[in-house]
């Protein structure tokens, strides 16, 4: 198996474009649009907040009435850069790899090629996980706090990407773990709020893993389900099933045109703790498919060590070999941030406070 040509960044960028990225539910569902990579390390983030103005009447012979155009909120960010890295040392190549037979005849060069190929994919997947975490932060808080790590290992707040016009949040007076909670009214209220502000009917209700039990044991919803007449079936149907390992379709709320899903995907945070992307007691109601993934150019030292090159790509692999330490390292760089098109396309319900 030939060694991957790691010292050619442009060739490796071409390889990354041909490797199919893994599914990432929050990213694929809420931020699927990927415009061309910006040619600089500055990105313009623009979003709008909906208004539904009425045309003014005028008297006979009267002039038209000047109407202000809807403005957008525009900010310029230097998108944060991520740079996960993997290192290969001679010691890594002296022992059999996972899945390799005990009596393997693979050479260290062949093992190095396999490790490098796997590292390309895994480093890219780490970046996608970070994007998914950014999506979760924006959807549940309206902002994303960017913390970076220096060589001393200390975390420092670099920037905060915020969308302050987003204010569609609800904490019910009676929490949903109470069987007498007015769950349907809470969902209907937030759905109508999105409809009023955007003119579109939301179609997705994404729930943390605890919400399914709250729905099934709610006294009002249980009453509808226990009497399967035409009127009740026209309101709600619940038939849970797994769509994938982390996605479970709970049912369909016909009266509000909402597909209901449960989302239980997790990640390992910087402290090594496993956490869910979506809080188990949170509900997101949304018009999906509107958000954008914005990428900026990455500036890196060139091979001559005398200047810098701009690389305009979503994922920029960067190889460094050090003869003194006898290490080969691969870093996957990316500059990105996520942005909604409209600040009113989604709402959050904190079902349990």
CATH number, position 320? 3.15.30.10
Least confident range from 115-124, 158-167, 274-283, 326-335: namely: 158-167
Task: For residue 189, tell me if it sits in a domain.
Answer: yes
215 compared with 44, residue with greater pLDDT: 215
Do residues 329 and 273 both lie within one domain? no
Q: What is the DSSP string of 86-128?
A: EEE-GGGGSSPPTT--TT----HHHHHHHHHHHHHHHHHHHHH
Task: For residue 249, tell me if it sits in a domain.
Answer: yes
Do residues 269 and 228 both lie within one domain? yes
Characterize the bridge pairing of strands 346-350 and 169-170. Answer: parallel
Least confident range from 110-119, 139-148, 221-230, 337-346: namely: 221-230
**Cα(1)–Cα(256) distance, rounded to whole angstroms?**
56
What tokens does 144 get? Answer: 């994303």
Task: For residue 57, tell me if it sits in a domain.
Answer: no
Apex 159 CA angle, 44 and 264, nearest 5: 95
Residue range 63-86: average pLDDT? 66
Q: What pTM was estimated for this model as a whole?
A: 0.82
pLDDT at 67: 45
Whether the pLDDT of residue 253 is over 90: the answer is yes
Do residues 135 and 187 both lie within one domain? no
Structural domains in the chain (count): 2
Do residues 303 and 279 both lie within one domain? no
The residues, any chain, with a CB within 8 Å of residue 275's CB and separated by 6 or more, are 266, 267, 268, 269
Looking at residue 351, what DSSP letter applies? T
Task: For residue 64, tell me if it sits in a domain.
Answer: no
342 compared with 211, residue with greater pLDDT: 211
Residue range 211-227: average pLDDT? 88
- The answer to whether 290 and 50 are in contact (CB under 8 A) is no
Do residues 197 and 247 both lie within one domain? yes
Do residues 115 and 189 both lie within one domain? no
Do residues 32 and 142 both lie within one domain? yes
pLDDT at 1: 43
Residue 341 DSSP SS3? coil
Do residues 230 and 177 both lie within one domain? yes
CATH number, position 270? 3.30.1930.10
Residue 247's domain comprises: 169-288+344-350
Task: For residue 62, tell me if it sits in a domain.
Answer: no
Tell me the residue ranges of DSSP E strands in the chain: 43-48, 72-77, 81-82, 85-88, 143-149, 155-162, 169-170, 204-207, 237-242, 247-253, 258-263, 266-268, 274-276, 282-286, 292-296, 298-301, 308-311, 316-322, 327-339, 346-350
Do residues 273 and 320 both lie within one domain? no
> In the block, which residue shows the tokens 């691969």?
330
Task: For residue 79, tell me if it sits in a domain.
Answer: yes
For residue 337, which of 49, 38, 120, 123 has the smallest C-alpha distance? Answer: 38
Do residues 98 and 197 both lie within one domain? no
Do residues 206 and 324 both lie within one domain? no
Task: For residue 69, tell me if it sits in a domain.
Answer: no
For residue 214, which of 258, 262, 286, 285 has the smallest C-alpha distance? Answer: 262
Do residues 32 and 105 both lie within one domain? yes
């Amino acid at each position: 198996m030939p060694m991957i040509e790691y010292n050619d960044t442009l060739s490796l960028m071409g390889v990354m474009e041909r490797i199919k990225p893994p599914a990432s539910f929050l990213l694929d569902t809420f931020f699927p649009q990927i415009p061309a990579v910006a040619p600089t390390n500055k990105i313009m983030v623009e979003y709008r907040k909906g208004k539904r103005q009425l045309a003014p009447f005028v008297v006979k012979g009267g002039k038209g009435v000047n109407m202000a155009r809807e403005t957008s909120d525009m900010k310029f960010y230097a998108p944060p850069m991520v740079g996960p890295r993997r290192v290969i040392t001679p010691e890594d190549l002296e022992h059999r790899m996972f899945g390799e037979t005990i009596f393997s005849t693979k050479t260290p060069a062949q093992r190095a090629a396999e490790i490098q190929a796997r590292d390309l994919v895994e480093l890219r997947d780490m970046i996608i996980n970070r994007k998914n975490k950014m999506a979760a932060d924006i959807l549940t808080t309206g902002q994303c706090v960017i913390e970076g790590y220096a060589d001393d290992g200390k975390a420092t707040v670099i920037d905060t990407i915020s969308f302050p016009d987003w204010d569609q949040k609800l904490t019910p007076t009676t929490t949903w773990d109470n069987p007498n909670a007015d769950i349907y009214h809470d969902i209907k209220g937030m759905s109508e709020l999105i409809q009023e502000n955007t003119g579109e009917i939301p179609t997705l209700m994404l729930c943390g893993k605890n919400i399914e039990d709250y729905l099934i044991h709610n006294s009002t919803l249980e009453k509808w389900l226990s009497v399967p007449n035409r009127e009740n079936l026209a309101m709600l149907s619940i038939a849970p099933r797994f769509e994938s390992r982390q996605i479970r379709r709970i049912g369909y709320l016909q009266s509000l045109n909402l597909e209901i899903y449960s989302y239980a995907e997790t990640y390992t945070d910087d402290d090594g703790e496993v956490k869910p992307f979506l809080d188990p007691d949170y509900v997101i109601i949304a018009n999906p498919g509107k958000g954008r993934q914005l990428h900026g150019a990455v500036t890196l030292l060139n091979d001559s060590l005398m200047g810098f090159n701009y690389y305009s790509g979503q994922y920029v692999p960067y190889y460094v070999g050090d003869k003194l330490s006898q290490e080969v390292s691969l870093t996957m760089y990316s500059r990105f941030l996520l942005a909604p098109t409209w600040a009113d396309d989604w709402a959050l319900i904190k079902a349990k406070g």
